[in-house]
Amino acid sequence: MNAGGGIRFDVVTLFPDFVRAAVSYGVAARACARGLLQLVAWNPRDYARDRHRSVDDRPYGGGPGMVMKVEPLRDAIQAARTAVADRASVICLSPQGRLLDQVRVQELSQHSRLILLCGRYEGIDERLIEAEVDEECSIGDYVLSGGELPAMIVIDAVARLVPGVLGHPGSAGQDSFGAGLLDCPHYTRPVEIGGRRTPEVLLSGDHQAVARWRHKQALGRTWLRRPELLERCMLDAQARSLLQEFIDEYQG
Ligand SMILES: CN(C)c1cccc(CNc2ccc(C(N)=O)cn2)c1
């Protein structure tokens, strides 16, 4: 449970400095300074016992590339588990994983700590995944050179939901994506630029009208750009009529 005690990420990676960048800027850096967010990196190479400190080897059955060995990863994960007594979920970032979405991000933000496993090369020996990994997570259907960027994305998306990390607590909650919708348009000074003026409702000071307009825009944009997302979120009667209003105006 994340009862406002913050979250700790233990990341198993061959490139600790790379993943540390995820918490070195912006709100994540401030959250670290305030002890709401912690990142500890564990390098499997430090647990490679042979003279060459090898963490990978050639694939059984032949084929291109290399596979990450079990032992260094297992020992790095064990070191992470030992570092903080409580049982932590081990998530492997991999194209074979469950697709990450905001619902899953919200679920992950409830943990007090997570161990993230970053693979390189052609992948990880399946026996390590069977023995140590609780779940595989993918950030999208494409192959990267390593799991570090996906791990950094998970860290960023989850960290911003941890209570106290974002300055305005409402903003995370108000994320339209939190409601399964795309976001509404945003405007700031100057009121007009390049012949384009800010919508009058946003200048009216009528907070109810502003909230209605923003919800309508989020619904309309989702309908226009990502209609399949609308299927997933159960629109109540008010939302449905707001969307219909948008569609009527759009179709003119
Ligand atoms: C089987 N295989 C290629 C593989 C297995 C494990 C890790 C890696 C490292 N690369 C990654 C990782 C995640 C993603 C993603 N989409 O989240 C994309 N690439 C590759």
For residue 169, the model assigns a pLDDT of: 67
Three-state DSSP class for 137? strand
Q: Judge whether 122 counts as a catalytic residue.
A: yes
Interval between CA 101 and ligand 1 midpoint (Å): 17
Contact by Cβ (8 Å): 115, 12: yes
Put residue 207 in one of left, alpha, beta given phi > 0 → left and psi -120 to 50 → alpha: alpha
Per-residue pLDDT tens over the stretch 133-178: 999 999 999 999 999 999 999 999 999 999 999 977 666 555 666 6
**pLDDT mean over 216-224:** 98
Average pLDDT score over the chain: 94
Binding-site residues, ligand 1, Cβ < 6 A: 93-95, 119, 122-124, 138-140, 142-144, 146-147, 150
User: Across the strands, what pairs with 191?
Assistant: none
Residue range 16-64, pLDDT digits in tens:
999 999 999 999 999 999 999 999 999 999 999 999 999 999 999 999 9
On whether 121 is known to bind a ligand per the annotation, the reply is no
Q: How far is the CA of 26 from the centre of ligand 1 (A)?
A: 27
- Which one of 143, 153, 156 would you pick to mutate in the ligand 1 pocket, going by the greatest count of ligand atoms within 8 A of its CB? 143
**Are 113 and 84 contacting, i.e. CB atoms less than 8 angstroms apart?**
yes
Residue in the block written with tokens 């406002």:
4
**Catalytic residue flag (residue 160):** yes
Task: Give residue 120 CA to ligand 1 midpoint distance, Å.
Answer: 7
Nearest CA, atom 5, ligand 1: 123
Q: Strand, helix or coil at 25?
A: coil
CA angle, corner 137, sides to 133 and 139, nearest 5? 155
